[in-house]
Structure 1
Amino acid sequence: MNQTVLDGKVLTTIKEWKQEHSQPISAFIYDLQALRERARQTVSGLPEGCRLFYAIKANPTQEILKCLEPIVYGFEAASIGEIRKIRQVSSDKPVIFGGPGKKDNEIEEALLLQVKLIHAESILELRRISHIATRLGIQASVLIRVNLRASFPEATLIMAGRPTQFGIDEEQIEDAILLTQSLPNLQLEGFHLHSISNNLDAHLHARLISVYLERVKGWRERFGLTLNYLNAGGGFGISYTDSERKFEWDTFVSELRQVLYQNAIPGVELLFEPGRYIAAACGYYATEVVDLKCNHGKHYAILRGGSHHFRLPGAWQHSHPFEIVPVEQWNYPFGRPEVWDVEITVAGELCTPKDVLARDIQVSRLRVGDILLFTLAGAYGWTISAHDFLSHEHPDHIFL
Structure 2
Amino acid sequence: MRKRPQHSPQTYFSVVGNCLQVHGQPLTALAERAGDRAFYAYDSEVMTRRVQELRALLPADIELHYAIKANPMAEVVAHMAGLTDGLDVASAAELTTALATGTPPTEISFAGPGKSATDLRDAVDAGVIIILESSTEMHRVAALAAGTGRRPTVAIRVNPDFELKASGMKMGGGPKPFGIDAEQVPAVMAELATLPLDFVGLHIFSGSQNLRPEALIEAHDKTVELALRLAAAAPYPIRWLNIGGGLGVPYFPGEQPLELAPVMANLQGLLGQIKTGLPQARVVMELGRYLVAEAGLYVCRVTDKKESRGQLFLITNGGLHHHLAASGNFGQVVRKNYPVCIGNRVTGEVHENVTIVGPLCTPLDLLAERMELPAAEIGDLVVLFQSGAYGYTASPHHFLSHPPPLEIFA
Give the TM-score normalised by structure 1. 0.89
Matched, 1:169 2:181: yes
Q: Find 1:349's aligned residue among 359, 373, 382.
A: 359
Residues 128-155 of structure 1, C-alpha deviations (whole Å, 9 max, x = no match): 1111122432111211111122243111
Other-structure match for 1:212 = 223
SS in 1 for 2:150: coil
Other-structure match for 1:330 = none
Contact 2:211 2:247 in 1 (8 A): yes
Q: Find 2:266's aligned residue among 255, 259, 275.
A: 255
Other-structure match for 2:14 = 5
CA separation in 2, counterparts of 1:355 and 1:13? 28
SS in 2 for 1:366: coil
CA separation in 2, counterparts of 1:152 and 1:70? 30
1:214 positional shift? 0.8
Q: Find 1:376's aligned residue among 383, 386, 389.
A: 386
Q: Figure out how many residues of one structure are paired with residues of the other and give that number.
A: 387
Other-structure match for 1:60 = 72
Q: Find 1:118's aligned residue among 107, 130, 133.
A: 130
Contact 2:231 2:237 in 1 (8 A): yes
Contact 2:316 2:359 in 1 (8 A): yes
Other-structure match for 2:247 = 236
Other-structure match for 1:197 = 208
Other-structure match for 2:51 = 39
SS in 2 for 1:302: strand
Residues 170-201 of structure 1, C-alpha deviations (whole Å, 9 max, x = no match): 2322321222122x211221111111010112
1:279 positional shift? 0.6
Matched, 1:269 2:282: yes
1:103 positional shift? 1.2
Contact 2:70 2:390 in 1 (8 A): yes
1:228 positional shift? 0.7
CA separation in 2, counterparts of 1:78 and 1:227? 23
Other-structure match for 2:29 = 16
1:100 positional shift? 0.6
CA separation in 2, counterparts of 1:213 and 1:188? 19
Contact 2:28 2:344 in 1 (8 A): no
Residue identity in the other structure for 1:309 = H
Matched, 1:319 2:331: no
CA separation in 1, counterparts of 2:239 and 2:199? 9
CA separation in 2, counterparts of 1:61 and 1:211? 34
Structure 2 CA distance for partners of 1:104 and 1:5, relative to 1, 3 Å: same
Structure 2 CA distance for partners of 1:167 and 1:369, relative to 1, 3 Å: same
CA separation in 2, counterparts of 1:356 and 1:57? 25
Residues 259-303 of structure 1, C-alpha deviations (whole Å, 9 max, x = no match): 223454322121111000001111111111112233354433211
Contact 1:341 1:363 in 2 (8 A): yes
Matched, 1:310 2:320: no
Give the TM-score normalised by structure 2. 0.87
1:212 positional shift? 1.0
Other-structure match for 2:371 = 361
CA separation in 1, counterparts of 2:288 and 2:103? 21
Structure 2 CA distance for partners of 1:12 and 1:49, relative to 1, 3 Å: closer
Other-structure match for 1:51 = 63
Other-structure match for 1:337 = none
Segments of structure 2 that go 5 or more residues without pairing to the other structure are 1-8
Bigger drift between 70-79 and 35-44 goes to: 35-44
CA separation in 2, counterparts of 1:5 and 1:206? 33
Contact 2:10 2:385 in 1 (8 A): no
Residues 291-324 of structure 1, C-alpha deviations (whole Å, 9 max, x = no match): 2233354433211111222222231433111111
CA separation in 2, counterparts of 1:168 and 1:135? 27
Q: Percent sequence identity over matched residues?
A: 29
1:223 positional shift? 4.6
Q: Find 1:102's aligned residue among 115, 119, 126.
A: 115
1:224 positional shift? 5.5
Other-structure match for 1:76 = 88
1:366 positional shift? 2.8
Residues 22-44 of structure 1, C-alpha deviations (whole Å, 9 max, x = no match): x6452211111221222233235
SS in 1 for 2:142: helix
Contact 1:214 1:263 in 2 (8 A): no
Contact 1:43 1:71 in 2 (8 A): no
Contact 1:43 1:72 in 2 (8 A): no
Contact 1:290 1:369 in 2 (8 A): yes
1:396 positional shift? 3.0
Matched, 1:155 2:159: no
Other-structure match for 1:221 = 232
Q: Find 2:102's aligned residue among 79, 90, 102.
A: 90
Structure 2 CA distance for partners of 1:32 and 1:223, relative to 1, 3 Å: closer
Bigger drift between 237-246 and 301-310 goes to: 237-246
CA separation in 2, counterparts of 1:191 and 1:378? 29
1:60 positional shift? 0.9
Residue identity in the other structure for 2:212 = D
Other-structure match for 2:143 = 131
Segments of structure 1 that go 5 or more residues without pairing to the other structure are 328-339
CA separation in 1, counterparts of 2:165 and 2:95? 31
1:326 positional shift? 4.1
Other-structure match for 2:198 = 187
